[in-house]
């Protein structure tokens, strides 16, 4: 005669752990990245850190970070930002948050981290500046903060192209031109005398053609370090991120970048994109590309 509790089978721990592992795999996609650079001035720097621990020591709550820093007037601001930005962002996230709360806190923390990094660098009284495109991938959520004219684009597995960064070039961003002039700055081209104006629109004083950056001590308060922040959640089908400096985007469109490396793994993809851009315009600037593929673990 069977007892009432017979149907409560004891599940072996190994089975539970396997189930846990399978669920974790759906929560945590596989990331593969590659990068390529052709240098002209030596002012482009990249930052890659995978398997960062959100909760120290648990080995499970991991996230990945990809940064691109395109310096101008020397490499100091780009190097300083590369070395300090992640710590400043993480320091702005309250402790003891669960995963969803942590992801929700990221956009505000990214803004705080950018502002602190700029403030700390300005105190060093160095005049260089840098664009920043900073990407944090936690599970299927991609968070991007950007200042300047490097860009991050996303092609989800379902298709389409999404711009996860803003281009803060005064030449093309009317909203930023309005912001600068409303706060008392002047926007205009370089005047060569005799009424002749040349080159892109710039902010005066200082003459920077970007409206947002980190550093740039000498260009006045109109150039701000507050980033454009975008957060998206991918489906478990995943997608591809392309993070590139303006050396790429000055030569080719987002669609051309994606098309020229379709079907290739990240490393050769990054090389193809840089070579495609350099082939069109020549190597006029540092040209850097990082490609990140995000996809679901293969089930065994």
pLDDT in tens, 84-119: 999 999 999 998 898 899 999 999 999 999 999 999
- Count Cβ neighbours within 10 Å for each residue of 159-196 and write b for 16 or more, e otherwise: eeeeebbbbbbbbebeebbebbeeeebebebeeeeeee
Q: Tokens for 241, please give them.
A: 């991120």
pLDDT, tens digit (0-9, with 9 covering 90-100), for 147-206? 999 999 999 999 999 999 999 999 999 999 999 999 888 999 988 777 788 889 999 888
Domains of the chain, start order: 30-166+228-295 (3.60.40.10)
What is residue 16's three-state secondary structure?
helix
In a 10 Å sphere around its CB, with 0-12 CB exposed, 13-18 middle and 19+ buried, how is residue 95 labelled? exposed
Range in 40-54, 63-77, 245-259 with the lowest mean pLDDT: 40-54
Q: Which residue has the higher pLDDT, 80 or 193?
A: 80
Neighbours of 125 (CB within 10 A): 8
User: pLDDT for 125-152, tens place per residue?
Assistant: 778 999 999 999 999 999 999 999 999 9
Helix, strand, coil percentages in the chain from 3-state DSSP, rounded to 5: 30, 30, 35
Distance CA 285, CA 283 (A): 6
Of 11 and 177, more confident: 177
Whole-number Å distance between alpha carbons of 219 and 208: 7
Contacts of 90 (CB under 8 A, 6+ apart): 109, 113
Q: Whole-model pTM?
A: 0.88
Tokens of 223: 């150039």
């Amino acid at each position: 005669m069977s007892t009432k509790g017979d149907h409560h089978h004891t599940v072996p721990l190994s089975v539970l752990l396997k189930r846990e592992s399978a669920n974790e795999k759906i929560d945590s996609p596989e990331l593969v990245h590659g990068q390529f650079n052709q240098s002209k001035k030596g002012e482009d720097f990249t930052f890659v850190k995978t398997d960062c621990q959100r909760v120290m020591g648990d080995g499970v709550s991991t996230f990945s970070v990809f940064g691109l820093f395109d310096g101008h007037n020397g490499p100091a601001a780009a190097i300083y930002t590369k070395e300090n930005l992640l710590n400043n962002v993480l320091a702005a996230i309250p402790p003891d948050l669960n995963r969803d709360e942590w992801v929700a806190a990221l956009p505000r923390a990214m803004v705080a981290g950018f502002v602190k990094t700029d403030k700390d660098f300005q105190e060093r009284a160095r005049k260089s500046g840098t664009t920043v495109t900073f990407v944090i991938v936690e599970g299927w959520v991609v968070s991007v903060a950007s200042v300047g004219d490097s860009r991050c684009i996303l092609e989800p597995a379902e298709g389409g192209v999404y711009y996860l960064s803003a281009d803060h070039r005064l030449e093309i961003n009317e909203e930023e031109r309005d912001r600068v002039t409303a706060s008392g700055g002047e926007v205009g081209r370089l005047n060569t005398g005799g009424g002749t104006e040349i080159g892109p629109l710039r902010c005066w004083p200082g003459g920077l053609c970007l409206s947002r950056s980190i550093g740039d001590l000498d260009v006045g308060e109109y150039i701000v370090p507050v980033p454009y922040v975008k957060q998206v959640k991918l489906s478990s089908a995943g997608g591809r991120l392309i993070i590139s400096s303006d050396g790429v985007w000055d030569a080719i469109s987002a669609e051309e970048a994606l098309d020229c490396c379709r079907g290739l793994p990240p490393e050769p993809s990054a090389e193809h994109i840089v070579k495609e851009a350099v082939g069109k315009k020549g190597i006029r600037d540092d040209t850097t590309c990082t490609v990140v593929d995000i996809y679901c673990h293969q089930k065994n």
